[in-house]
Amino acid sequence: MSSLSTHPSNDLTAAIRQAVDTLQVDPRAALQQAEHILSAHPVSDAARKLMGVAWRLLGEPQKALGIIEPLAARFDESADLMHELGLCLGAAGRGNDAIAALRRAIAIDGNHAGAWRSLGDQLSAANDMKAAELAYEKHLSLSTRHPELLDAAAFL
């Protein structure tokens, strides 16, 4: 379909960047920032995604899915959104759906290291250890810049 972009003004871009920077440290503050952004820019898909991620990080996967699922349907060629959808589905206890979303993310972008790691987590939870190991190996190969670490990991 289309890619996730909003062509925001400089103020909107700065506000979203600030909220993203806050997300891992204080998801509740990031959620409030996203709500504030949406009050001024109600069509900002980036702010909506930010809100969905914040809800997931706050342990509210159903609220997150209420935001992320419609975005993922609209932007079905976004590996990042499919990855986030997979994380939300996994957090909601929908493992098979999470695996499908993560496989979709990887089909879109085979070099999406985070999606490979998350797929490994979901496959491990589903007790598919062989497939999980392959996903983790792919994640490791994509996320390291030191080939000697890959050789060392092969011995583990």
- Tens digit of pLDDT for each residue in 105-119? 999 999 999 999 999
Q: Are 139 and 103 in contact, with CB atoms under 8 Å apart?
A: no
Closest CA to 60 of 49, 48, 51: 51
pTM score, whole prediction? 0.84
- Tens digit of pLDDT for each residue in 43-97? 999 999 999 999 999 999 999 999 999 999 999 999 999 999 999 999 999 999 9
- Residue 46 to residue 145: CA distance in whole angstroms: 30
Burial 17-30 (b: 16+ CB within 10 A, else e): eebbebbeeebeeb
